[in-house]
């Protein structure tokens, strides 16, 4: 099987590789990769492969967390995220070289052998990871990915002899399995190991397929590991593989001292899949290539087709090319060329990529959200927002998830906080839950009534924005007539009340309209966007006010497009009512307050000692238009003065100084962390959007740039988090570790920063009448270019800024003809040139 080594990346990539060796790695924009040059990242970094249907996390030292459909209920590999970076986590590869006496063993991932490498790179790519490691005269290239639409994780391993003499080499890939119920694996050491089963199936020609399942899944879902080539032996029992009753370690498994493994099956216990692949003598300059498969199907019989397919290396190459083609097409939806390289890199590659990830995994599975039990799942508010980040790229996939969300909306109009995807598919009447509000269930107020709501004040409102987004992007108004069930716990879908999508949206708005507090402002519910502020029932929220008002604006657009003037007028009335109530009650003198508790006490007021000012009431009152004129500007200026830092805008200040049971969650964090005065990044794009609405492009761009992770690549000892995606939070300036990022990947920051950048700074957004071009940019820019696909046509847009303004379209020329607005018409096909001059 000696083949020529497959080229790893385009030539341009090599050029960049001469580069600016930042301490940990560099961006290779031509290859659309981040290239890590050391395994010793400040904290664990990772990448995602596949989708929620099959896929998961691959960390930078070869650990893989693979699930199918649901991380809590169908987990495949046992990745314990809390173990140190240096420990084995669910998978590795050992490379073994025969020496005069015994063997030399190393892992190209560094972990778990911790061998020093001559050269080491981890290429974080678009849904793949690739390592290039040089050690002991061998160059190993490993690529891990999931072919589009498949249930298989491939590991393409190529070992090239770069020394002068032939070497006898073995390759030993290993996976460790988890019980499918992820939490049980950690909490039950009796039942779980009794059920875990691994069997080896030899094929006549020397191939082996290792089959693994928990006993009760034997006839329904089996995991398997196999390779494209013959293997000498295998091990399925961890104790046997590590040796000496597990006094042998992952760093140095004792079984690797023997020519062959023991062919151990595992009738109970810790199941692994270790294959002994004899590459044989690799001559100088020659390459040995093999590819392993880890998959799950109903049975090995069902798996046979996929096994056969990916045993052919041509199909492996084809699958990799298809993956690249998917991303090429996906990213082509919106491409920008602006004077700012870090902006281009984020907007053209990494941010849309992260949006694809949050769309898939919501807040379910990351190195921070570990995907155990029912504490998470697909979040109603989170996913509604995530979908807006992929709407231009994959509207139909987004819609599918949006309809699932609508199906866990209650008939009353409010929504369940989250659902488990597998339970939804099983239609068991128990698929959704009320999130953290369950913790306060049963707490009574002074009158013996429930003290806290079991619903969130914001969940059901986000989906109005999401559906409006879909309709504007696609123009498919028929969706509004589609019937979707409401959620009635305990009932099967068919028995539940149904309503059209339009009816669902109406009930969302109506719920808020009929759940107002003392000041006629929308009730908080258990929480609004800020999960950590759980005031007793009766509290009102400025955030929900802004979101409700924005949702009303979107609904007016929808009704207008439907020609339903009466409804437009009605919702306009509701909008004016809430705008007035907000202006009457929520102005604090220099900014907008954030909440009122049920007694009417304000939070986020200058009079308070802690939490004097909150970011979201300033930004959302501008986004929704309920703040206008002087107050809108003053609120945003106060935000700038009191909340802005060089690393981003803090969500509030000052932070609470100790646990206060009256405010709960927010005060469990030290000041400067997370919602308690930390830089909760999700709020930052709202600030950018609000500034573009005020026309202040320089400020909007400053807010954009100060949180751009790509720009932090030279500050990683402070930032620590992956520079190729947004983290959820950065510690604020009240904290000693100001500037440190945490909770990478699964954050609403991704969708909203993408929206802020593309729709408000670049200013190109879908509407019912066409493509709006209304940029708000730094005044120093001479202009920029953007290509946008919209309703079947491609718009090549050039924006000129001869007068160096931030905002204001003076002229728009479409295909050579000046038009009297800044909305480019809907074409449905072809390439169209749009030239916009600001001034
Ligand atoms: C987390 C939650 C999100 C919430 C935010 C602020 O990101 O996933 O739902 O809005 O925290 O509390």
431-446 tens-digit pLDDT: 899 999 999 999 999 9
Q: For residue 747, how far is its CA from the centre of ligand 1 (angstroms)?
A: 8
294 in Cβ contact with 66 (< 8 Å): yes
Q: How far apart are CA 553 and CA 559, in angstroms?
A: 10
Q: For residue 382, how far is its CA from the centre of ligand 1 (angstroms)?
A: 7
Q: What is the dihedral of CA 801, 802, 803, 809, to 10 degrees?
A: -40
Q: How far apart are CA 404 and CA 484, in angstroms?
A: 9
Q: For residue 529, how far is its CA from the centre of ligand 1 (angstroms)?
A: 6
| DSSP conformation letters of 757-803 | IIIIIS-EEE-SSSEEE--B--TT--EEEEEEEETTEEEEEEEE-TT
Q: Which atom of ligand 1 is nearest to the CA of 680?
A: 6
Q: Which atom of ligand 1 is nearest to the CA of 748?
A: 7
Angle between helices 351-361 and 395-406 (to 10 degrees): 30
**Smallest Cα–Cα separation from 463: which of 542, 527, 398?**
398
Q: For residue 748, how far is its CA from the centre of ligand 1 (angstroms)?
A: 8
Q: How far apart are CA 421 and CA 405, in angstroms?
A: 10
Nearest CA to ligand 1 atom 7: 747
Q: How far apart are CA 707 and CA 712, in angstroms?
A: 8
34 in Cβ contact with 46 (< 8 Å): no
Q: Which atom of ligand 1 is nearest to the CA of 382?
A: 9
Q: For residue 474, how far is its CA from the centre of ligand 1 (angstroms)?
A: 29
pLDDT, one tens digit per residue, over 507-563 is: 999 999 999 999 999 999 999 999 999 999 999 999 999 999 999 999 999 999 999
pTM here is 0.96
**Smallest Cα–Cα separation from 138: which of 186, 101, 112, 171?**
171
Q: How far apart are CA 592 and CA 690, in angstroms?
A: 14
Read off the tokens for 162.
């770069």
> Which of 529, 544, 750, 752 has most ligand 1 atoms within 8 Å of its beta carbon, as the pocket-test mutant?
529
97: CB partners within 8 A, 6+ apart: 103, 104, 105, 136, 138, 167, 168, 169
Q: Which atom of ligand 1 is nearest to the CA of 747?
A: 7
Q: Which atom of ligand 1 is nearest to the CA of 363?
A: 8
Given CA atoms 615, 616, 621, 622 in this order, what sign does their dihedral have? positive
Q: For residue 752, how far is its CA from the centre of ligand 1 (angstroms)?
A: 13
> Which of 747, 748, 750 has most ligand 1 atoms within 8 Å of its beta carbon, as the pocket-test mutant?
748
> What residues flank ligand 1, with Cβ below 6 Å?
363, 379, 381-382, 529-532, 675, 728
Largest CA distance in the chain: 88
Strands 809-814 and 831-838: antiparallel
Nearest CA to ligand 1 atom 9: 382
Q: What is the CA radius of gyration of the chain?
A: 28
Q: For residue 381, how far is its CA from the centre of ligand 1 (angstroms)?
A: 8
156 in Cβ contact with 316 (< 8 Å): yes
pLDDT, one tens digit per residue, over 446-500 is: 999 999 999 999 999 999 999 999 999 999 999 999 999 999 999 999 999 999 9
CA 413 → CA 37, 456, 458, distances in Å? Answer: 51, 11, 11
Q: Which atom of ligand 1 is nearest to the CA of 381?
A: 9
Q: For residue 674, how far is its CA from the centre of ligand 1 (angstroms)?
A: 10
Q: How far apart are CA 345 and CA 422, in angstroms?
A: 36
Q: Which residue has the tokens 């020397």?
A: 206
The pLDDT value recorded for residue 420 is 85
Distance of CA 745 to the CA centre of its chain: 5
Q: What percent of the chain has pLDDT over 70?
A: 97
Read off the tokens for 821.
């607005």
Read off the tokens for 473.
């992007």
Query: Which residues in the chain land under pLDDT 50?
Result: 1-21
The pLDDT value recorded for residue 13 is 41
The pLDDT value recorded for residue 427 is 87
Q: For residue 379, how far is its CA from the centre of ligand 1 (angstroms)?
A: 9
Angle between helices 313-332 and 300-311 (to 10 degrees): 90
What are the φ/ψ torsions at residue 56 (nearest 5 degrees)?
A: 160, -140
**Neighbour order of strands in the sheet with 679-680:** 679-680, 727-730, 741-744
Q: For residue 533, how far is its CA from the centre of ligand 1 (angstroms)?
A: 11
| DSSP conformation letters of 598-612 | TT--EES-TT-SS--
Q: For residue 744, how far is its CA from the centre of ligand 1 (angstroms)?
A: 13
Strands 793-800 and 831-838: parallel
> Which of 366, 375, 531, 676 has most ligand 1 atoms within 8 Å of its beta carbon, as the pocket-test mutant?
531
């Amino acid at each position: 099987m000696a083949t020529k080594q497959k080229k790893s990346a385009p030539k341009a990539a090599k050029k960049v590789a001469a580069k600016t060796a930042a301490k940990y790695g560099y961006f290779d924009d031509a290859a659309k990769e981040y290239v890590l040059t050391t395994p010793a990242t400040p904290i664990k970094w990772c990448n995602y492969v596949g989708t929620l249907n099959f896929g998961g996390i691959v960390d930078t030292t070869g650990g893989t967390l693979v699930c199918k459909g649901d991380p809590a209920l169908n987990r495949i590999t046992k990745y314990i995220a809390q173990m140190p970076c240096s420990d084995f986590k669910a998978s590795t590869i050992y490379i073994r070289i025969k020496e005069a006496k015994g063997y030399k063993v190393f892992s190209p991932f560094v972990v778990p052998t911790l061998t020093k490498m001559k050269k080491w790179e981890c290429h974080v790519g678009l849904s793949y990871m690739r390592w290039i490691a040089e050690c002991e005269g061998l160059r190993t290239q490993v690529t891990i990915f999931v072919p589009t639409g498949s249930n298989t994780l491939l590991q393409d391993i190529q070992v090239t002899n770069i020394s002068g003499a032939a070497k006898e080499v073995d390759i030993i890939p290993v996976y460790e399995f988890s019980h499918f119920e992820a939490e049980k694996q950690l909490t039950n050491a009796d039942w779980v190991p009794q059920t875990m089963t691994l069997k080896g199936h030899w094929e006549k020609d020397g191939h082996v397929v290792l089959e693994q399942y928990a006993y009760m899944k034997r006839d329904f879902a089996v995991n398997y590991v196999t390779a494209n080539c013959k293997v000498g032996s295998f091990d399925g029992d961890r104790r046997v593989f590590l040796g000496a009753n597990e006094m042998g370690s992952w760093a140095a498994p004792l079984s690797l001292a023997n020519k062959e493994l023991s062919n151990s099956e595992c009738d109970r216990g810790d199941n692994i899949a270790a294959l002994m692949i004899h590459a044989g003598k690799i001559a100088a300059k020659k390459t040995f290539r093999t590819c392993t498969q880890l998959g799950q199907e109903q049975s090995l019989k069902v798996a046979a087709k996929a096994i056969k397919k990916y045993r052919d290396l041509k199909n492996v190459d084809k699958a990799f090319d298809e993956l690249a083609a998917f991303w090429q097409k996906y990213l082509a939806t919106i491409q920008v060329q602006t004077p700012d390289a870090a902006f281009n890199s984020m907007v053209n590659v990494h941010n849309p990529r992260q949006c694809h990830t949050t769309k898939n995994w919501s807040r379910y599975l990351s190195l921070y959200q570990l995907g155990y039990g029912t504490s998470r799942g697909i979040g109603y508010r989170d996913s509604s927002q995530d979908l807006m980040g992929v709407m231009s790229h994959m509207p139909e996939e987004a819609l599918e998830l949006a309809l699932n969300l609508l199906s866990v909306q209650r008939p009353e109009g409010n929504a369940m906080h989250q659902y488990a995807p597998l339970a939804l598919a099983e239609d068991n009447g128990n698929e959704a839950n009320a999130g953290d509000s369950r913790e306060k269930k049963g707490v009574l107020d002074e009158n013996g009534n429930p003290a806290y709501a079991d619903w969130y004040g914001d969940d059901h409102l986000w989906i109005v924005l999401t559906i409006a987004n879909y309709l504007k992007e696609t123009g498919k108004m028929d969706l509004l007539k589609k019937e979707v069930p409401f959620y009635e716990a305990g009932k099967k879908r068919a028995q539940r009340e149904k309503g059209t999508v339009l009816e669902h949206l109406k009930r969302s708005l109506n719920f808020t309209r009929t759940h107002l507090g003392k000041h006629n402002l929308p009730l908080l519910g258990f929480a609004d966007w800020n999960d950590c502020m759980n005031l007793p029932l009766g509290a009102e929220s400025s955030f929900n006010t802004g979101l409700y008002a924005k949702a009303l604006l979107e609904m007016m657009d929808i009704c207008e497009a439907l020609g339903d003037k009466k409804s437009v007028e009605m919702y306009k009335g509701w909008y004016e009512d809430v705008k007035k109530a907000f202006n009457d009650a929520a102005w604090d003198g220099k900014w907008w307050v954030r909440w009122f508790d049920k007694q009417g006490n304000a939070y986020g007021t200058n009079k308070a000692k802690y939490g004097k000012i909150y970011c979201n009431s300033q930004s959302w009152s501008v986004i929704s238009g309920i703040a206008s004129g002087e107050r809108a500007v003053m609120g945003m200026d106060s935000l700038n003065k009191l909340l802005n830092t060089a690393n981003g805008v803090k969500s509030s200040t000052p932070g609470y100084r100790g646990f206060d049971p009256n405010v709960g969650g927010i005060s469990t964090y030290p000041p400067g962390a997370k919602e308690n005065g930390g830089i909760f990044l999700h709020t930052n794009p709202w600030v950018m959007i609000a500034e573009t609405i005020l026309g202040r492009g320089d400020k909007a761009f400053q807010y954009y740039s100060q949180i751009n992770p790509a720009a932090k690549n030279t500050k990683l000892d402070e930032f620590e988090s992956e520079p190729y995606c947004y983290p959820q939070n950065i510690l604020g300036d009240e904290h000693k570790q100001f500037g440190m990022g945490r909770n990478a990947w699964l954050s609403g920051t991704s969708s909203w920063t993408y929206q802020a950048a593309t729709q408000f700074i670049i200013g190109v957004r879908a509407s019912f009448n066409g493509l709006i071009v209304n940029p708000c940019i730094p005044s120093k820019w001479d202009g920029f270019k953007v290509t946008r696909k919209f309703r079947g046509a491609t718009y090549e847009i050039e924006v000129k800024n001869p007068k160096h303004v931030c905002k204001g379209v003076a002229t728009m020329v479409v295909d050579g003809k000046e038009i009297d607005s800044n909305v480019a018409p809907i074409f449905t096909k072809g390439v169209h040139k749009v030239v916009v001059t600001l001034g």
